[in-house]
Amino acid sequence: MRLLILGALMFALPSLTAAQTTGLFSMESRQDGRAWEAVGRLELAGKAFCTGSLIAPDLVLTAAHCLFDDSGTALKPEDIQFLAGWRNGRAAAYRRVRRAVAHPNYRIGSGPSPDRVYYDIALIELQHPVRNTTIIPFVTEDRPPAGESVGVVSYAHNRSEAPSMQDTCEVLSDQSDLLVLSCSVDFGSSGSPVFAFAADGPRIVSVVSSKAKSGDVPVSLGAPLEGQIDDIKVLLTEGAGFEEGSAFRPFQAKDGVRKDTGAKFVRPTDADADPLKP
């Protein structure tokens, strides 16, 4: 299977010599991954995959660029499938997709830039909710500060058959338009949830968008969530993600006209810029 490639940025971080930590743990057994089955693989037209995570029984959070093919054309909902807790050929739940909506300010054709990372957020509405006592959607939260420890659960090209956990990375820089992370990501990790850990459980604080480099040292870039998810939810409420004329789009009546038809649902980054500086 061809893998969806993360966008790559190059940064000059002269003070950073060994930022990216290791410690990836492959959750091969169901017992290992039991608490993380709301993270799954997104199959994309049988040609690529990304990582996504449930934030509601019928909503998957992922990266916006996962919704487009190599030519920049948006994938059709029928070309996307969510495999919750995918592990060694089996999933805890299989779901088809009703619609998929990227952040309205995301531009697939733009070059690598902080703005592109910032808006690299999408929501996928499933055809049927995942209602399973072992698959619990995650809560989302605003970005963590620089220096805070975070973790990532992801699939990638060399670990595509089981999710891997890395809970030993950190936020290297908290900027207005992106988070610079020491977390290990690779092709297929696009859309992976970045977690902050608290006494009441893990919370998603970012989504993996891209990988970058400081000399020979790899880092990862995450999209902040504050306001982004709400922006997309507004579009979902307005019927985004359905074709014009679709029976799933809401009936648009003129003011004062009763709706008797029934319910229908519808910055270029300078190659020499230092991401650890504001």
Tell me the domain boundaries of the chain. 7-228
How confident is residue 92, by pLDDT bands cut at 50, 70 and 90? very high
Instruction: Report pLDDT for 271.
Output: 40
When pLDDT is averaged across residues 172-199 and rounded to a whole number, the result is 90
Reported as type and span, the H/E element at residue 229 is helix 228-237
Instruction: Report pLDDT for 94.
Output: 97
d(CA 46, CA 1): 7
Segment 96-124, tens digit of pLDDT? 999 999 999 999 887 778 889 999 999 99
The answer on pLDDT for 223 being more than 70 is yes
Segment 115-150, tens digit of pLDDT? 899 999 999 999 999 998 899 999 999 999 999 999
d(CA 139, CA 137): 7
Instruction: Report pLDDT for 135.
Output: 95
The answer on pLDDT for 13 being more than 60 is no
The answer on pLDDT for 32 being more than 80 is no
Instruction: Report pLDDT for 218.
Output: 85
d(CA 192, CA 203): 13
> Which regions of the chain does DSSP assign to beta strands (E)?
7-11, 25-26, 39-44, 48-56, 59-62, 80-84, 93-102, 122-126, 139-140, 149-156, 159-174, 179-181, 193-198, 201-214, 217-224
In 3D, which of 5, 8, 53 has the Cα closest to residue 214? 8
The answer on pLDDT for 269 being more than 70 is no
The answer on pLDDT for 276 being more than 60 is no
pTM beyond 0.75: the answer is: yes
The answer on pLDDT for 5 being more than 80 is no
The matching CATH number, chosen from 1.10.287.1120, 3.30.230.10, 3.40.50.970, 2.40.10.10, for 7-228 is: 2.40.10.10
22: Cα separation from own chain's centroid = 21
Q: What percent of the chain has pLDDT over 90?
A: 53
d(CA 148, CA 43): 32
Instruction: Report pLDDT for 153.
Output: 94
The answer on pLDDT for 47 being more than 60 is yes
